[in-house]
Amino acid sequence: MSVGFQAVQWNRFKIIYDLVLWIGAITLVVVFILVTNATQSEGESYHPVQLVLRAFGLTAIVLLFITLSIGPLARLSDRFKPLLYNRRHMGVTVFLFAFLHAALVLVWYHGFSETNIFVSLLSTNSNYGQVYGFPFEALGLAAFLILFVMAATSHDFWLDFLSAPVWKLIHMMVYPAYALVVGHLVLGALQDQTSLFSAWAVSGAAVALIGLHLMAGWKEARDDKRADRKAEDGWLDAGEPCDIPEGRAVIIAPKGGERIAVFRDGDQVAALSSVCRHQNGPLGEGHVRDGCVVCPWHGWEYRLEDGRAPAPFTEKIATYPVRLVDGRVQVRAKPLPPGTYSEPVTVYVEDIEGEPA
């Protein structure tokens, strides 16, 4: 949420996040290098360049796995949600390590000859028709290009410039990139291993990642099913006002429609789209602060009554008319255009007595 361009809007949380991230990354590189050197048989050694390029590649893959795990972990438990806030820094760090790995590979393995390094990379080994001996470098290159595009467009400027759906589509390419990286490893470095440990690590990580996403998807589908409400005369039931905790929301998920977040701020109840304009974050899992709904992912804010970001910001989301019938909150199924004022409904003290919050 930025009205003017700023490369990084640093704050204390981001600084500590990045510090821990880089301590972890550098520790992994150092451990890998020291242990490799310490465990060589007599007369054997790694060339320093090859050792470092392997350490960078390993670090990129490990960080990519962690980056991809954060999304489903945050869906499974609120405790992991803060990790999403600065996840793009981890993504860019993945790219930096992948870049260092790729640059060293390119220069070391494909340089120092009369053949152009890129020509060599793409054409020296052209055994695309076989599994063993397949030019696994091509898979790594494809993954690298995806990571490059993602890193280059990671700033919110590009989100605004490309529009949220296009930006989201580009950044969902991280999953094909991960698959390409696994293929790069399986057809390359893993083939030279004499121990099965690395193969187990790669396959275990892939299975864990798939499992986490399936669990998160299953939980979301279950929550949506519970939150499903059929419209009667175009209005959806959102329960009693006391079911909505102070400053929080309940989410309605009408079949085929967008999730709706029904917030209560004191005695005012209003409904907004539960989808943040930023990265489709779950607004309904956020909270109300100074009359604005705050997205739990990156802190984007929208006014409760009209779905508009407070000035000078210009983002806006759809609002929904709300009414109180027989002591129950009802929300109109059809949204109003983004940014349209919709009068919040006032609930009475007796309606929110015994509130769960």
- Residues 174-213 contacting another protein, CB under 8 A: 187-189, 191-195, 197-198, 201
- Of the pair 44, 353, the CB lying nearest another protein is at 44
- Of the pair 240, 306, the CB lying nearest another protein is at 240
CA–CA gap between residue 241 and residue 333 (Å, rounded): 18
- Of the pair 83, 336, the CB lying nearest another protein is at 83
Q: Are strands 319-320 and 301-303 parallel, antiparallel or unpaired?
A: unpaired
Binding mask 217-256 for another protein (x = CB under 8 A): ------x--xx-x--x----xxxx--xxx-xxxxxx----
Query: Could you say which residues in the range 30-59 bind another protein, by CB under 8 A?
Result: 31-33, 35-36, 39-41, 43-47, 50-51, 58
Query: Could you say which residues in the range 119-148 bind another protein, by CB under 8 A?
Result: 120-121, 124-125, 127, 132-133, 135-137
Please tell me the count of residues contacting another protein according to CB under 8 A. 94
- Of the pair 22, 341, the CB lying nearest another protein is at 22
In eight-state DSSP terms, residue 349 is G
Q: Does 156 bind another protein (CB under 8 A)?
A: no
Can you spell out the DSSP letters for 257-320? S--EEEEEETTEEEEEESB-TTT--BGGGSEEETTEEE-TTT--EEETTT-BPPTT---B--EE
Q: Does 89 bind another protein (CB under 8 A)?
A: no
Strand-pair partners of 289: 292
Say whether the peptide bond before residue 312 is cis (omega within 30 degrees of 0).
yes
Q: Are 64 and 181 in contact (CB under 8 A)?
A: yes
Q: Does 351 bind another protein (CB under 8 A)?
A: no
Judged by CB under 8 A, the residue of 18, 71, 76, 83 near another protein is 83
Residues 6 or more apart from 127 whose CB is under 8 A from it?
A: 133, 134, 135
State the nearest-atom distance from the C-beta of 228 to another protein, in Å: 9
Q: Are 198 and 189 in contact (CB under 8 A)?
A: yes
- Of the pair 115, 314, the CB lying nearest another protein is at 115
CA–CA gap between residue 276 and residue 156 (Å, rounded): 14
State the nearest-atom distance from the C-beta of 204 to another protein, in Å: 10
